[in-house]
Structure 1
Amino acid sequence: MNDDLKYLPEEFLNRMNNMLGDDFQAFLNSYQQPRTFGLRVNTAKISCEEFEKIVPFPISPIPWIPGGYFYPENVRPSKCAFYQAGLYYLQEPSAMTPVSRLLPKPGEYILDMCAAPGGKATALGAALKGHGLLVANDISTSRARALLRNIELFGIPNSFVTSTAPKDLVPCFPEFFHKIILDAPCSGEGMFRKDEALAKDWSPAKSQELSLIQRELILQAADMLRPGGYLLYSTCTFAPQEDEGTVSYLLENRPDMELVEMPGYEGFSDGVPAWGKGQPQLTRCVRIFPHKMNGEGHFMALLHKPGQTISEISPVFTKPNRTAFEYIDAFFREIGLKSLGGQPFDWNRVEIKGDKVYYLPPVSCSIRRINFLRNGLYMGDLKKNRFEPSQPLALALHKGEVSSVITLPVQDQRLERYLKGETLLINPEEAASPKGWQLLCVEGYPLGFGKLVGQTLKNKYPSGWRL
């Protein structure tokens, strides 16, 4: 074996040889090929056609992912102001596949059970386009903080970000969700080419331990899925016990669930019934192998719970705080707010906790025992006789929703200075309003707030967000 592959565990290679047979050498050869790099467009904020016109670095479409693009390894898209405006998310191409096969629709209630760092959650939130509810959960509070940052960067206003054990979510959301994605914690074999440290930490015992966790999680997911709903189970491993084995376990213990076909692609490989417990429908699972696709390893299974639920959740209504609402409304009038995230602003969804102002998703549900990092969109703070907007509010706004804007071209060096927290010199013709609160934009897409005094834009970009 090539010395470059010595980091791959022998037991892993022997098992893959048995699994792949004649394809094993091609699989090995893929480890000596360069990895691919991808981004996914936030279609809630910008169309793919418009993005292709304005993106300042080379991209090419990922053929099996709507809105997904490859970019060259030498490009640093996270340094571009479009990234800070939440126009795209950096994600490995194979990892984009599960959400593209779940087909989320506006108005649905969707759960991402193990959501950090947010690749799949941001894709789900973008597809909802502000309608319905996204619950993005991760049991690790530190990882959930990174998840929250990405949800806010993408400007998703109708989300709960939680850090709760999935077993504690079940009594709060019994048969609640139209769609659930369970991207389960796994042994990460599909990422060995991308991260050699995962290979060095691998063991058959660890894979077995993780499969037991996955089986608990998939049953909990099924119990939160409403009749007629869809559950997408995915991993980034090749291990049969974590893939077909876990899906087999669900089919045995929740016989009302059924595997369904997913939109295909020429490089997809079918699941293998013998790698589970022999159920013929396991062929409907999808495996992504790096020697057959331009991406890393992945596994997916789309499951359906037959039936239909017609009952909907009642909207939440809050008791108005008239004085506070006057301060918020005064700010909205100053910036010329027309809508929020593509929808008319709904004062019934405003909640005030202390001096913090939130915009709640338009649903009500039980929240006992849930640890919230964010309950809706954090809009800003009430100060003495005024309202101060938040960075998440700026990013929840879409192009053209505010009148008081300063928009700069993506090549303008002042954008980088703004993102570092510096004040900016603004020419009079660049500002739509002569003074006061302004929404600074890149090519019309919101980046953050500032206050214009004369020709100086005082920077309101929060210190925790700065470059």
Structure 2
Amino acid sequence: MELPKAFEEKMKALLGDEFDSYTACYKEPRYYGLRVNTAKISVEEFVRICPFVITPVPWIENGFYYDGEQESPARHPYYFAGLYYLQEPSAMTPANRLEIHPGDRVLDVCAAPGGKATELGAKLHGEGVLIANDISSSRAKGLLKNLELFGIGNMLVLSEEPGKLCEYFPEYFDKILIDAPCSGEGMFRKDKKMVKAWEEHGPEFFSRLQRSILTQAAAMLRPGGMLLYSTCTFDPLENEGSISWLLEQCPEFDLVDIRPYEGFREGVPEYASVRKEEFSKTVRIFPHHMKGEGHYLALLLKKEDKENLPRKELKQERTKSGCSYEKLPEDLRVFLKKVHRSFDVSRFDIRKDRVYYMPDGLPNLSGVRFLRSGLLIGELKKGRFEPSQAFAMNLKKGEYEYILDFPVSDERVIRYLKGETLLVDDLAGSKEKGWYLVCVDGYPLGFGKLSQGTLKNKYLPGWRWQSV
């Protein structure tokens, strides 16, 4: 492909003798990847049941290559069960190299469409909270779907300027990921449209955005917390330049080593304006060194004044509902008797007709624009409770009493995903009527309502399988 002359000259200066090897990679096909959702299935089990030919991404424990010209993983029931996310292999690296522990408070600042946020949420295993934000409300809708498809319940999906979030979350987060808006130079091979976008908005435009976001995120990270900054560009102004700027503005931050891989290349200290010796700890990913596209990563620690500082307690904690089990609506209580899971009843939040289960330890979020706060359990309708698609995806097979489990080879799986009514006499037998969790090979897809051997389909219309 024809690259802009200004870009070529910059890459010659950056790569030197490697420039020809770099441009040669444009003649090679792009790489396709999928990342296993370890909150739902182990890597070993996925490999055992995977219907595609896959090979491991060597620096990502749950990442695999597949042949995107021959395979269509997005049109398989396991995709609809949330067992994996389709993601370019290098783009898996930021969330992989930010160490997340169950119970952490985690922020993904620029989260849509969810490639990093779904991995961060999976690592929490239902404990702590993930706050996934994207300033674009339309992109945030796709982010919400992907998080719910992955079964992430302890999350909030927001659509706000990062600066506004500082008012609500001062020094709140243990971990922050910034996959920053950038000029996209590392994606030129994958998507040729990025070249035109680069010509319209170059590195100078994006570096200003990045520095603003970095400053705001720094204020939301607690002392002792970790921040991972990434871009999919090669430009030094957006990479070493933006991180240098943060270190000048916020001297309490130090760069720390990123878990290595033989294909990683060090950041370039010469492009840094301060503390140049630290920039060999940052990572550049080049497509002529690895089977993936271009990326830059920097991992930073916010220093503490003394060891083991407790988390900063917010002045305005979210008021808990004060619900007791007896105060919950009767239809909801009847449904919850079929759910084999312990709930903190005070974390139920009923707004209008919707029932949410909220993460613990949140501030008062009055005035924040969000698409989802907590796990949507379902809706209270006239005389009945209707469980949500999000709750179905959050459940595991053993956590719900009434199950209809289809093998992936059963043609009714696709019919269910298309929204059709199903005859299930062979599976239902004399089972009670009511809400059933529909599974494929033991992994939930959604709910249906059973009556006399017929399952009324309740799969979410906006998620349904579309015919080609």
Q: Do both proteins adopt the same fold according to a TM-score greater than 0.5, normalized to the shorter chain?
A: yes
Instruction: Pick the aligned partner of 2:98 from 86, 102, 113.
Output: 102
Distance (Å, rounded) in 2 between the aligned partners of 1:320 and 1:432:
36
Amino acid corresponding to residue 422 of structure 1 in structure 2: E
CA shift for structure 1 position 465 = 1.5
CA shift for structure 1 position 353 = 0.5
CA shift for structure 1 position 345 = 2.2
Distance (Å, rounded) in 2 between the aligned partners of 1:364 and 1:434:
39
Does residue 320 (structure 1) correspond to residue 323 (structure 2)? The answer is yes
Residues 242-283 of structure 1, C-alpha deviations (whole Å, 9 max, x = no match): 000000000111001000001000000000011221521011
In the other structure, the counterpart of 1:67 is 62
Tell me if structure 2 keeps the 8 A contact 1:45–1:399: no
Instruction: Pick the aligned partner of 2:14 from 9, 19, 22.
Output: 19
Tell me if structure 2 keeps the 8 A contact 1:391–1:448: yes
Tell me if structure 2 keeps the 8 A contact 1:187–1:237: yes
In the other structure, the counterpart of 1:440 is 438
Distance (Å, rounded) in 1 between the aligned partners of 2:309 and 2:129:
17
CA shift for structure 1 position 202 = 1.4
Amino acid corresponding to residue 47 of structure 1 in structure 2: S
In the other structure, the counterpart of 1:285 is 282
CA shift for structure 1 position 309 = 2.9
Q: TM-score, normalised to structure 2's length?
A: 0.94
Amino acid corresponding to residue 296 of structure 1 in structure 2: E
C-alpha RMSD of the superposition: 1.6
Residues 287-314 of structure 1, C-alpha deviations (whole Å, 9 max, x = no match): 0000000100000000001114314657
Amino acid corresponding to residue 395 of structure 1 in structure 2: M
Tell me if structure 2 keeps the 8 A contact 1:405–1:432: no
In the other structure, the counterpart of 1:369 is 367
Distance (Å, rounded) in 2 between the aligned partners of 1:68 and 1:96:
8
Tell me if structure 2 keeps the 8 A contact 1:172–1:368: no
CA shift for structure 1 position 315 = 8.1
Tell me if structure 2 keeps the 8 A contact 1:168–1:369: no
In the other structure, the counterpart of 1:129 is 125
Structure 1 residues 141-152: aligned runs within 5 Å: 141-152=137-148
CA shift for structure 1 position 214 = 0.4
CA shift for structure 1 position 384 = 1.9
Tell me if structure 1 keeps the 8 A contact 2:232–2:294: yes
Residues 113-142 of structure 1, C-alpha deviations (whole Å, 9 max, x = no match): 000000000000000001001000000110
Amino acid corresponding to residue 287 of structure 1 in structure 2: R
CA shift for structure 1 position 26 = 0.6
Instruction: Pick the aligned partner of 2:252 from 250, 256, 262.
Output: 256
Does residue 40 (structure 1) correspond to residue 38 (structure 2)? The answer is no
Distance (Å, rounded) in 2 between the aligned partners of 1:63 and 1:400:
33
Instruction: Pick the aligned partner of 1:179 from 175, 194, 204.
Output: 175
Q: TM-score, normalised to structure 1's length?
A: 0.95
In the other structure, the counterpart of 1:410 is 408
Q: Which runs of 5+ in 1 are unaligned?
A: none
Structure 1 residues 171-250: aligned runs within 5 Å: 171-203=167-199, 206-250=202-246
In the other structure, the counterpart of 2:340 is 338
In the other structure, the counterpart of 1:349 is 347
Structure 1 stretch displaced more, 396-405 or 421-430: 421-430
Instruction: Pick the aligned partner of 1:266 from 252, 262, 267.
Output: 262
CA shift for structure 1 position 329 = 1.7
Describe the shift of the 1:216–1:295 C-alpha distance in structure 2 as closer, same or farther (beyond 3 A). Answer: same
Tell me if structure 2 keeps the 8 A contact 1:189–1:236: yes
Describe the shift of the 1:93–1:432 C-alpha distance in structure 2 as closer, same or farther (beyond 3 A). Answer: farther
Tell me if structure 2 keeps the 8 A contact 1:406–1:432: no
Distance (Å, rounded) in 1 between the aligned partners of 2:323 and 2:28:
59
In the other structure, the counterpart of 1:422 is 420
Distance (Å, rounded) in 1 between the aligned partners of 2:45 and 2:319:
36
- Percent identity reads 52
Tell me if structure 2 keeps the 8 A contact 1:115–1:147: yes
Amino acid corresponding to residue 309 of structure 1 in structure 2: L
CA shift for structure 1 position 94 = 0.4
